[in-house]
Amino acid sequence: MSEPAIGSGPGRALLAVYGVFALAAGARAAVQIATRFEEAPLAYALSAFASVVYVVLTVALARGNRRLALVACGIELAGVLIVGTLSMADPAAFPHATVWSGYGSGYVFIPLVLPVIGLYWLLRRK
Amino acid sequence: MRRGGEGDGTCQYPTGHASCHGDVPVIGPLATGLIVLALLIMLSGIVTAVRNRPMGTVILVALGVLEVGLLVQAGFAVAGVIGGEGAGETATLIGYLAGTLLIPPAAAFLGLAERSRWGPAVIAVGAFAVCVMVGRLLQIWHGTA
């Protein structure tokens, strides 16, 4: 390996945080979609999408796939900004919370800070 | 330990509502104990990381104890659900129970693989997640989510 691994050192802690979010968002989306998808299809589909992004990031960090991690981190940042803004602008469209609504306010704004830290980590080591 | 049930006047719902079938007596104290233990593990993880040491045996053993406690809690909760207790939201409850069980082994695996200060940092992250999830579990169990 010519490049330092992205999944060790501080990257390992990042991997742990993404793993927790993959688990939390994934389980939440699975329950929402399985039990009451028709109540808020958009919000629940977004929950599922967010959880997929977190899973991809966890795997990319664990396997040291920098490009995949960068793309997923970019999508994550875009997602939290877009969904956060939409949920503020039109709360009626998001009657049920997702990980990204209100810029991740339901998760003490970690979803907003996480992609910034992730991008910093991935780009700094390049 | 309060046992919310029909006729004791503590129930905000009509008689027979799922939320009022009360607590398996052990869930509350056990969950509180688990939260305290997870907080202690989180603190020792942070302290170890700040002191720039890799994680040691004490944290590993504590994670093992935490996992056993979580298994016991899952056992009681599942038994309670089968017995008709708990405040609805069974799918969510099971999700949290299963999720909490995964975290200590995963954190131990990651933390042991990382022989730097970031190993105990991983443990702190995992322990914090367990705190939050057991807290949510209690809320779901009592129907106060």
Q: How far apart are CA A66 and CA B66, in angstroms?
A: 34
Tens of pLDDT, residues B85-122: 776 678 888 888 999 999 999 999 999 999 999 999 99
Q: What value does the CA radius of gyration of chain A take, rounded to a whole number of Å?
A: 15
ipTM, two decimals = 0.87
B116: left (phi over 0), alpha (psi -120 to 50) or beta: beta
User: Looking at residues A36-43, what average pLDDT do you find?
Assistant: 84
A17 vs B117: CA distance, rounded Å? 16
pLDDT at residue B2 is higher than 60: no
- Residue range A99-122: average pLDDT? 92
| Alpha-helical runs (H) found in B5-117 | 27-50, 57-82, 90-113
- Select the residue of A16, A30, A31 nearest B110 (Cβ to Cβ): A16
Note the pTM of the prediction, 2 decimals: 0.85
- Please give the Cα distance from A108 to B65 (Å, whole number): 28
Length of chain B: 145
Residue B139: pLDDT band by 50, 70, 90 thresholds? Answer: confident
| pLDDT for position A22 | 94
pLDDT, position B8: 41
Instruction: Please report the sign of the dihedral spanned by the C-alpha atoms of residue B113, residue B115, residue B116, residue B120.
Output: positive
**B-chain residues near A28 (CB < 8 A):** 95
CA distance B128 to B95: 17
Residue A30 scores a pLDDT above 60: yes
A99 Cβ contact list (under 8 Å, min separation 6): A21, A24, A25, A28, A47, A50, A51, A106, A107, A111
- Which of the four pLDDT bands, split at 50, 70 and 90, describes residue A4? low
Confidence class for position A125, pLDDT limits 50, 70, 90: low
**Contact by Cβ (8 Å): B80, B21:** no
Cβ pair B42, B111 in contact under 8 A: no
Tens digits of residue pLDDT in B14-51: 444 444 445 555 678 999 999 999 999 999 999 999 99
Which range has the worst mean pLDDT, A24-33, A115-124, B128-137? A24-33
A28-32, B82-86, B129-133: least confident range: B82-86
Asked if the C-beta of A39 comes within 8 angstroms of chain B's C-beta atoms, the answer is: no
Nearest to A119 by CA among A63, A57, A59: A57
B139 lies within 8 A of chain A by CB: no
**Looking at residue B6, what is its pLDDT?**
40
A13 and chain B in contact, CB less than 8 A:
yes
